[in-house]
Structure 1
C-alpha cells in the first residue's frame, strides 16, 4: 500500500478524537496496515525545519523515507514508506 493523500486523511480520521494518544496506537496501525511502519514520538523530537504531511487535534504526521539504509523524515509522499505520529503537548 502506498501513502496517498486519501490514506493520510484516513489515518487522520483514525487518530482523531484523542485516538493518537491511545496506548499502543502504532501497534494497532501496523496490524491494520501491514508493511507500513508507524512510530509514535513527541512533536518536540521533530526538527522544526521539517513540515508535517498532515495535522490533527493533538498530533502531526510526518512521512518516513525508508528507502535508504537509515530512515529519514520526508514531506514527499512518493518516497515515504512509513508514518511518524508526533504527539503535540498543549503545554508546548
Structure 2
C-alpha cells in the first residue's frame, strides 16, 4: 500500500477542521477507509522527522507491511499515518 499526496492533503484538510478537544480519528477513518491511523503525543515521536504538519498535529508516515510498524519517509511504503498532537 502507499499514501498518495492527495490522501495526505486530505488528511491535513480534515485535521485543520478538527477542534483541539475533538478526536480526529473517526472522521479520518470514515473519509479514508483502508488507511491506518493512530495518534499520540508529540513527545512520543522524539527523534523522528514528520512528513508534514497540519494545524496542531505533526504527521508521520508508517510502514505497516510487517509485524512491527516503523516510521518511513517513503510514501510508497506507507500504509498509515501517525498523528502526533502538540498540546
Bin for the TM-score computed over the shorter chain: 0.7 to 0.9
- CA RMSD in angstroms comes to 1.8
Give 1:34 shift: 1.4
Aligned length: 87
What is the TM-score when the length of structure 2 is the normalising length?
0.86
The Cα shift of 1:74 comes to 1.2
> For the residues of structure 1 that align with 2:71 and 2:19, how far apart are their CA atoms?
19
User: Which ranges of structure 2 fall in alignment gaps of 5 or more residues?
Assistant: none
Instruction: State the alpha-carbon separation in 2 of the partners of residues 56 and 16 from structure 1.
Output: 6
- Whether 2:71 is the aligned partner of 1:73: answer yes
1:51 has 2:49 as partner:
yes
Measured in 1, the distance between the counterparts of 2:41 and 2:86 equals: 6
4+ residue runs over 6 A deviation: none
Extract unaligned runs of 5+ from structure 1.
none
Q: Residue in 2 aligned with 1:3? A: 3
Match of 2:14 in 1: 14
Query: What TM-score comes out, normalization by structure 1 length?
Result: 0.82
